[in-house]
Amino acid sequence: MAAAKTRTSSFSRNLSAAAPSQGPGLKCGPNGTVFLSSGISDLDKILGGGFPLGSLVMVMEDAEAPHHMLLLRNFMSQGLVHNQPLLYASPAIDPRGFLGTLPSPAASKDEKSHKHDPDQEKGLRIAWQYKKYFGESQLNFDGQRDGKHEYSNEFDLRKPLERHFLSAQRVDCVSIQDSPNLSALQDRSATFLSQYPRNDGSISCAGRIAIQSFSAPQCAYSNMEWDMLSFIRSLKSMVRSSNAVALITFPPSLLSPSFCKRWQHMADTLLSVKAIPDEDKELSQLLTGYQDMVGFLNVHKVARINTQVPVILDATTFSIKLQKRRKQSTNHHKNEKPSEMKNRIHPYCIVHKVVAYPSKPLGEPDRRWLLSYVKWESLRTQSNLLY
Amino acid sequence: MNQRSSNLLDEALGLDQSIEPWPLRGRIVAIEDQVETSGSFVLHHILKRSLSPNSSNVSILIAFSQPFSHYDRVLRKLGCNLVTQRDNNRFFFFDMLMLQCPGGDEGISPECGLIALYGKIYKTIVALPEVSSKNVTIIIDDLSLMEVAANGSSDYVLDFMHYCRTLTTEFDCSLIALNHEDIYSSADRPTFLLQMEYLADILIKAEPLATGLASDVHGQLTVLNKGMNYRQGSSRNKISNFHFKVKENVVECFYPGSQG
């Protein structure tokens, strides 16, 4: 960010912190970065605020489940709600049709006043003295919501996004199926990103690029591994110098192992999603809230822009749940028929730390199996629950 | 600056004795890291040391992975101002973020691509006044992206490295290059990686801990220093192994279990 500026003293004032003039949906982060929301507020919290502008986010898909679409949809919807321009590329023939499936922001602010889920409370009870810090950070988080636009919305996955968000001419859709090479997509991205160059002044608007299933086999270039890599590299370089975030999802199984690693190295923020087997009895006994889980989310890498310090999370595996939440409570809801109640609840995506809470004492094989199945540090921190 | 506390990394690199003459003079340092554990902090550390105020070293940073603003901020927190050093002609920054060599044989033409880059480096070194032209550090961040820029032609990148190697003998430059080890782990004979390891005088590997990352230990470093201390009769190859924790202003290095 300080590229053009020549500051000669290390002790000069941090200008970006002094003048936090930003457009809607943006938030100051550490080291002079500015965050935008992923569209899932829990994920934002995990990542320390969201996706920093100028970063490349990559999501490794699971071939068996479409959970990456959840991340993609929320990411795109959040941008549209904030009136941020969007470039969407997909291997579908008609990418614009996908916009009709984007979720709509659901709850009003007041409804979110309940902050702690019961699960969360349980986790906090272990270290009750941290509660006050937690509350504080939550307060900061909510402070952002006082403006007209909230930093991050909750999205009702059953309700399509209202048309007026889509009719804005700032949505650009590209089909990457037919193009024999990547130059067309590269040009579109370059044109898109050139509208939001990075300068030291205030950031009025931030762009989002969403590319779905980049290496899908139906794309003509899917066997040109070096070309794809070089596209990602140039996209990353362009994004770095603009106020935008690019999110690419890709099926890693279709890439050779060596290229898969190269892609992972490219990413600033690297996530992966995994399906949960449907009727896994053993797992359901081990994990609390198993019924609500639809998948796992792994955080492999968190963007570190302008810093050399890695972000170490206390857990890297999270469960994706679709929480069904009752809409604004009414006075007479006790008298409602169950069918009516059903209409009043809406699913939205939350991301939770995986809590292992076995209903029976674990034997050694079970424990080993659990550790290999969910091979994560989160379990180490909660190992007191296992014994 | 005199009471600079040397750490294990400095010791392993031989930077703890003196900074003038530059201990890495004429040597090639290869840094290898993985997706989970970035080794770029070693680059920053060496860059900071080479730009230390009581030496006359010159550094050339060939950046494929990050823009100048990133290095500027990182190094400033380490106590080194790159803008000032650039103005003093002690630091040269080559922004290669958008470098793309044309494919096929066209890439071999001298006007573009890596050959042009080499020409630029050579000219920069030759243009330096005599006193400092002996202490030039060339830093490449990173080689895997250079391969991408060369459209996957690793031979082309290796040629470039061999050219740069001549600089280490001709001008006693030191050459520091970062690469990613795990990219090559699936190949049965990773020529590119093996050649780099062969060329290197000092090989640094940054790896995650087998037990996963923790907030107080970010990973472990293995430093293989070929031909160090042999005058004093000790072994030619010195291997150091220690844990590290990266902070904004310093890298803490310590032996396993000796922390806190």
Sequence ranges of the domains in chain A: 24-131+148-325+339-354
For the segment B10-27, the average pLDDT, to the nearest whole number, is 82
Residue A215, pLDDT above cutoff 50: yes
Residues A59 and A65: their CA atoms lie apart, in Å, by 13
Closest chain A CA to residue B34: A265
B81 Cβ contact list (under 8 Å, min separation 6): A8, A9, A10, B75
Residues A45 and A67: their CA atoms lie apart, in Å, by 19
Residue A146, pLDDT above cutoff 80: no
Residues A382 and A179: their CA atoms lie apart, in Å, by 50
pLDDT averaged over every residue in chain B: 86
B256 at the A interface (CB within 8 A)? no
Residues B253 and A387: their CA atoms lie apart, in Å, by 34
Q: Is the pLDDT higher at A5 or at B118?
A: B118
Q: Which CATH class is domain A24-131+148-325+339-354?
A: alpha beta
B218 at the A interface (CB within 8 A)? yes
Could A3 and B67 be called an inter-chain contact, meaning their C-beta atoms sit closer than 8 Å? yes
Q: Is the pLDDT higher at B170 or at A337?
A: B170
A256 at the B interface (CB within 8 A)? yes
Q: What is the pLDDT of residue A380?
A: 39
User: Nearest CB to B69: which of A3, A256, A312?
Assistant: A3
Q: What is the pLDDT of residue A109?
A: 46
Q: And the tokens for B63?
A: 């950046």
**pLDDT tens, B48-60?**
999 988 888 899 9
Could A229 and B152 be called an inter-chain contact, meaning their C-beta atoms sit closer than 8 Å? yes
Q: What is the pLDDT of residue B176?
A: 96
Buried b (16+ CB within 10 A) or exposed e, A80-106: bbbebbbbbbbbbeebeebbeebbbbb
Reported pTM: 0.81
A13 at the B interface (CB within 8 A)? no
Structural contact between residues B50 and B39, judged by C-beta atoms closer than 8 angstroms: no
The string of DSSP letters for A166-223 reads: HHSTTEEEEE-SS-SSSHHHHHHHHHHHHTSB--SS-B---EEEEE-STT-TTSTTTT
Closest chain B CA to residue A305: B70
User: Nearest CB to A10: which of B40, B81, B213?
Assistant: B81
Mutation target vs A (from B183, B191, B247, B251; most A CBs, 10 A cutoff): B183
Residue B39, pLDDT above cutoff 90: yes
Q: And the tokens for A140?
A: 């900061």
Buried b (16+ CB within 10 A) or exposed e, A194-223: eebebeeeebebbbbbbbbbbbbeebebbe
Q: Is the pLDDT higher at B43 or at A196?
A: B43
Residue A247, pLDDT above cutoff 90: yes
Least confident among A19-23, A197-201, A358-362, B210-214: A358-362
Q: What is the pLDDT of residue A366?
A: 55
Q: What is the pLDDT of residue A332?
A: 39
Structural contact between residues A193 and A244, judged by C-beta atoms closer than 8 angstroms: yes
- How far does B212 lie from chain A, in Å, by closest CA? 7
Band the pLDDT of A150: cuts 50, 70, 90: confident
Instruction: Give the 3-state secondary structure of residue A299.
Output: strand
Could B69 and A264 be called an inter-chain contact, meaning their C-beta atoms sit closer than 8 Å? no
Query: Which residues of chain A make contact with B37, given a CB cutoff of 8 A?
Result: 310
Query: Which residues of chain B make contact with A312, given a CB cutoff of 8 A?
Result: 213-215, 218
Which of the residue ranges A5-9, A63-67, A288-292 has the most confident prediction, judged by mean pLDDT? A63-67
Beta strand B58-63 with B91-95 is: parallel
Q: Is the pLDDT higher at A38 or at B212?
A: A38
Could A306 and B70 be called an inter-chain contact, meaning their C-beta atoms sit closer than 8 Å? yes
**pLDDT tens, A310-327?**
988 877 888 888 776 654
Could B73 and A300 be called an inter-chain contact, meaning their C-beta atoms sit closer than 8 Å? no
Residue B104, pLDDT above cutoff 60: no
Q: Is the pLDDT higher at A260 or at B15?
A: A260
User: Nearest CB to B98: which of A226, A237, A308?
Assistant: A237
Residue B76, pLDDT above cutoff 80: yes
Q: Is the pLDDT higher at A23 or at B251?
A: B251
Residue A145, pLDDT above cutoff 80: no
- Domains of chain B and CATH, by start: 8-254 (3.40.50.300)
Query: Which residues of chain B make contact with A8, given a CB cutoff of 8 A?
Result: 81, 83-84
Could B180 and A265 be called an inter-chain contact, meaning their C-beta atoms sit closer than 8 Å? yes
User: Nearest CB to A234: which of B67, B98, B180?
Assistant: B98
Residue B184, pLDDT above cutoff 60: yes
Q: What is the pLDDT of residue B169?
A: 87
Q: What is the pLDDT of residue B94?
A: 95
Structural contact between residues A58 and A269, judged by C-beta atoms closer than 8 angstroms: yes
DSSP strands (E only) in A75-179? 86-90, 103-105, 155-160, 171-175
- How far does A119 lie from chain B, in Å, by closest CA? 24
In terms of C-beta distances under 8 Å and separation of at least 24 residues, what long-range contacts does B210-215 make, across chains too? B212/A376, B212/A377, B212/A380, B213/A310, B213/A312, B213/A377, B213/B36, B213/B37, B214/A312, B214/A377, B215/A312, B215/A314
Band the pLDDT of A347: cuts 50, 70, 90: low
Residues A131 and A122: their CA atoms lie apart, in Å, by 11
For chain B, where are the alpha helices, taking DSSP H only?
8-13, 40-50, 68-77, 82-87, 113-126, 143-149, 154-170, 181-184, 191-199
**pLDDT tens, A68-105?**
998 999 999 999 998 899 999 999 888 888 988 898 88
Sign of torsion, CA A143 A147 A148 A149? negative
